[in-house]
């Protein structure tokens, strides 16, 4: 399921899949700004058929954290 997350990130940030790993975050990827983050959250909600709580969306600041939150929600 992590591949689905990477596919979404690749699409939103126009980033090659092989450059995405669990540590990919706004700290090491300049294109991950606030507007891109909103687009990422919307894409995740659409892909997984969920509505994220604002707190969850704010915590999704790396591929690892996205995966953890989606695992906690039971969608991956």
For the chain, the domains span 2-73
Q: What is the tens place of the pLDDT at every residue in 30-71?
A: 999 999 999 999 999 999 999 999 999 999 999 999 999 999
2-73 topology per CATH:
1.10.1200
Residue with tokens 């990422």: 40
2 vs 56, residue with greater confidence: 56
Closest to 61 in 3D by CA, of 1, 2, 9: 9
pLDDT of residue 45: 98
Q: What is the tens place of the pLDDT at every residue in 3-27?
A: 999 999 999 999 999 999 999 999 9
Closest to 27 in 3D by CA, of 62, 1, 74, 69: 62
pLDDT of residue 1: 47
Residue 76 binned pLDDT confidence (cut-offs 50, 70, 90): confident
């Amino acid at each position: 399921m992590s591949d689905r997350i990477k596919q979404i990130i690749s699409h939103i940030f126009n980033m090659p899949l092989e450059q995405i790993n669990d540590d990919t975050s706004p700290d090491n990827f300049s294109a991950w700004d606030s507007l891109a983050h909103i687009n990422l959250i919307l894409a995740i909600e659409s892909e997984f058929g969920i509505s994220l709580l604002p707190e969850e969306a704010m915590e999704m600041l790396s591929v690892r954290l996205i995966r953890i939150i989606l695992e906690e929600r039971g969608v991956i």
